[in-house]
Chain A
Amino acid sequence: MNMNLFRSEEHARNWDGYDDSMASSLMPVAEWADIFSNPFFRERGRTDYISWTRSEAGAAAFASLRARLPRASH
């Protein structure tokens, strides 16, 4: 998995798997925690979760999540 935590931005940049095209993903852990607070993650405990992901509410949550995810700069 390439989604990792590092002790600082400098440590991430020094990692041998670092790719500068994804530099926009370098964010404080609290910011990633906020992104992973989207309903897409919060609703995983419901008994109709797969159905929910295909509902309007699920689609809206996904769209909101996609809007916050960093993209590569090519």
Chain B
Amino acid sequence: MAELELLDRGYTAVMRRVTDTGQAQHYTELASELGIELTAARELIHELVSITPGWTHPGTDHLASFPPFNIQPTQYRVTIDGEQRWFAQCGFEALAIRWLVPGKHVRIDAPCLCCGEPITVEMDDGDITAVEPEQTVGYTSCEIGGDAASRPFR
């Protein structure tokens, strides 16, 4: 298990990269960035996703999800200050992306899973500036974070 200081450094490095670019480092790049061994960086990736909680693509060391973002495309397209480069992990985490980009305009575009028609939510920091259609709701078919006994810190 990585020490807390390394978890903080690893989390910050990945979050910054994803926030800036919409992409995540491979563990080899993270190793170089943090000045640690390749094996330690690979283990760090898996430990971070178990905490956040995100995930790697099954059977690989490739980051697929790092909340609130998803590296692998989802139906939740995220546009920041007019640039569409990101995807959100889910409809709820999409609403939390604004806290990582203070002072910037965030727009979420997604199709409704019932009918495929568009949904748009726009945010500026603490303000929800537009919701289309106005009746848009959030819904989860399972308890957030999963079973309490196995839930990570979220």
Binding site for B on A (CB under 8 A): 1-9, 11-12, 14-15, 17-19, 22, 25-33, 35-37, 40-45, 47-51, 53-54, 58, 62, 65, 69-72
**Is the Cβ of A8 less than 8 Å from the Cβ of B74?**
no
A44-B92 in contact (CB<8A) = no
Binary contact readout B119-148 vs A (1 if CB under 8 angstroms, 0 otherwise): 101010010100101011111111111000
| Chain B residues with a Cβ closer than 8 Å to the other chain, count | 51
A45–B69 alpha-carbon span in the complex (Å): 13
Task: Please state if A8 and B133 are interface contacts (CB–CB under 8 Å).
Answer: yes
B interface residues, Cβ below 8 angstroms from A: 4-5, 7-9, 11-12, 15, 19, 51, 68, 74, 76, 89-96, 99-100, 102, 108, 110, 112-115, 117, 119, 121, 123, 126, 128, 131, 133, 135-145, 153-154
Chain B residues in 8 Å Cβ range of A50:
4, 7-8, 11, 51
Assess A42 versus B91: contact at CB under 8 Å? Given A33-B123, A49-B11. no
